[in-house]
Structure 1
């Protein structure tokens, strides 16, 4: 992996670790801050709120800046938010620090995707994006379990202090190895918003919401599903979570080259496979071994949706892709919230702990339907205004992917 892509992946690793490690440290956080565990859970929502708000806001403020500079600023803001979490004395201040840490999440990953695609070169852009996203997937294998262990042994703030160190390392790598890329000529906030409003971009974002909501409907409740249905002990749950992260990593390695060859068919295949795996999970979840294997596959096909959808919205907003690329991560976090809520609705309605998988399958099918409709509408002669023609003329490396 080129050192520039590795530096971007280290930043993604820090982001993935801070987003998910708090889920395993909620009891410690609650005890230290003197609040109930459910109240401490609001800190997860605080981070997601920061992501949803920060992606479009920070992008709007940075459209004319060089991308390397933007990446350094975003990672610096992320570092500051996590350092504030380490130093925050009360629940309210920790809540505010988690919002601050979440603000640059989507903006960094969106701009980083554009830079990774540029570094990888024509014909390998999806592969470049998937390599940067490896940082997110490896975080679920290494960063989150290690951070949870460290937080339990040395206090929950220690985990976030390590994230600060990783963010500093990422900034050093970006400064040293990422090539300078000026902002595309003629771009600005108005141009970015216009490209974001194109129908294919909007359909791509909506596909991301439904497809990823299917994943998070299950992932949010995988712990009680394993203990209540599969018969695992609580000590086995971290192993299952690591299997999910392993699946995400394998999926990321495979999906990039596939998306480079055939973008839309890869999206269709990933969403269809996700729906099938979720249906199968309603059966296999009742045995610990089959449940563990299915979680591994779920991680692979679930995260397999992320890279091709990221590249799709970049392609369809090729003249000014920054806002679209960052907004895709807002869509993923909306999917996180919606999937968790809908899965909880199924359980609360008395449908059992297997119901999130069935609900997730329906969401994946809806996402597949939207993706197919988008593909049918994206025929020669449709949505071919001056902006689209200019995009294809100026960015042929993108048009070959769509």
Structure 2
């Protein structure tokens, strides 16, 4: 991995850790600030809302800025947001700090992808995106448990201070190794906005949302699924989450390799296999050995589709990809928010096990969108007399 890409990946790692680690320290935060657990849970919502709102707004406002100063500024905002979280004297200010920290995430992710891909050899866009999104995997399976341990050992404020420290290290690497054009990647704010009217870009963003919402719903409720249906104890969950995470890391690189080979055919194939795997999980969820194996498989497939969906948006948006990628990231957060509500509604209705079937059905809907896009690509290629390889 080039050091420049590693530098950006490390920022993604810190941003992801900052997003998810709050779940591990909620009781400590609630007790220290004298608020309820549900109120402390709103800190997760505040960060997600910052991402959803900040994605399009911050990207539009910064469209004319040179890329490297923009990247540095976004990282500095993240550092300040996490330091503000560590020092917040009360719940209200902590809530504001978490929202502030989330504001820049989608824009940074979009700019980082565009910058990293601009340095990649032709035909290696997917694997480059996979190297960058490895930070997502590591933030979930490594950063979050380490941050939780730090919070339990030294207090919850130390967790946010540690995230800020890692981000400072990443900033130093970015300053030293990331090279970008001195001009912005977008021609104008209007150019960034105009690209959102492109039907191909719209379909690519919709594919990200619909293609991911099923597996995100399953992952959001993975603990009650594996304990209540498959019979595992709560003590086994850290190991099972590591199994899922190992699959996610493998899937991330597999997805990048497949994306480089054939973007839409591989993406459609991965969605089809994911839908099948979720259906099998529903059928075999009562068998612990099968549940462990399928936990690895769905982790692999869930993250194997990430490089493809990101690269699809990148290629569809062509000369002005930053806003499209930021909106795509915000769309993913909306899918995650919807998944939380949907899973609860399923549990209240047909029961927790049905989450697997609903997840499979939603993934099939994503597959339909992918197949429609693939067919449109092939029709356009045939009209232009060129082979449809992507």
TM interval, shorter chain, is: over 0.9
1:368 alignment counterpart: 367
Q: What is the CA–CA distance in structure 2 between the aligned matches of 1:90 and 1:238, rounded to whole Å? A: 31
Cα deviations by residue, 1:132-167 (Å, 9 ceiling, x for unpaired): 111111122211111111211221221111110111
Sort the Cα spacing of 1:73 and 1:185 in 2 relative to 1 into closer, same or farther, 3 A.
closer
Displacement of 1:64 in angstroms is: 1.6
Sort the Cα spacing of 1:184 and 1:151 in 2 relative to 1 into closer, same or farther, 3 A.
closer
2:158 alignment counterpart: 158
Superposition pairs of residues 127-276 of structure 1, within 5 angstroms: 127-183=127-183, 187-276=187-276
Displacement of 1:298 in angstroms is: 1.0
Counterpart contact for 1:9–1:133, Cα < 8 Å: yes
Runs ≥4 residues deviating over 6 A: none
Residue 91 (1) aligns with residue 91 (2): yes
Displacement of 1:185 in angstroms is: 6.7
Superposition pairs of residues 288-299 of structure 1, within 5 angstroms: 288-299=288-299
1:393 alignment counterpart: none
1:285 alignment counterpart: 285
Displacement of 1:289 in angstroms is: 3.1
Displacement of 1:84 in angstroms is: 1.0
1:117 alignment counterpart: 117
Q: What is the CA–CA distance in structure 2 between the aligned matches of 1:289 and 1:316, rounded to whole Å? A: 42
**RMSD, aligned CA:** 1.9
Equivalent residue of 2:153, what SS? helix
Sort the Cα spacing of 1:236 and 1:140 in 2 relative to 1 into closer, same or farther, 3 A.
same
Displacement of 1:288 in angstroms is: 3.2
Displacement of 1:93 in angstroms is: 1.4
1:69 alignment counterpart: 69
Sort the Cα spacing of 1:381 and 1:120 in 2 relative to 1 into closer, same or farther, 3 A.
closer
Unpaired segments of 5 or more residues in structure 2?
Answer: none
Counterpart contact for 1:81–1:97, Cα < 8 Å: yes
Counterpart contact for 2:78–2:104, Cα < 8 Å: yes
Displacement of 1:74 in angstroms is: 1.0
1:15 alignment counterpart: 15
Unpaired segments of 5 or more residues in structure 1?
Answer: 390-398
Counterpart contact for 2:310–2:325, Cα < 8 Å: yes
Cα deviations by residue, 1:23-79 (Å, 9 ceiling, x for unpaired): 122222221222221221111111111111111111111112222221111111111
Sort the Cα spacing of 1:285 and 1:380 in 2 relative to 1 into closer, same or farther, 3 A.
closer
Residue 50 (1) aligns with residue 50 (2): yes
1:39 alignment counterpart: 39
Q: What is the CA–CA distance in structure 2 between the aligned matches of 1:263 and 1:190, rounded to whole Å? A: 28
Counterpart contact for 2:50–2:101, Cα < 8 Å: yes
2:353 alignment counterpart: 354
Q: What is the CA–CA distance in structure 1 between the aligned matches of 2:141 and 2:100, rounded to whole Å? A: 25
Sort the Cα spacing of 1:16 and 1:185 in 2 relative to 1 into closer, same or farther, 3 A.
closer
Displacement of 1:171 in angstroms is: 0.8
1:324 alignment counterpart: 324
Aligned residues: 387
Displacement of 1:184 in angstroms is: 5.3
Q: What is the CA–CA distance in structure 1 between the aligned matches of 2:389 and 2:29, rounded to whole Å? A: 45
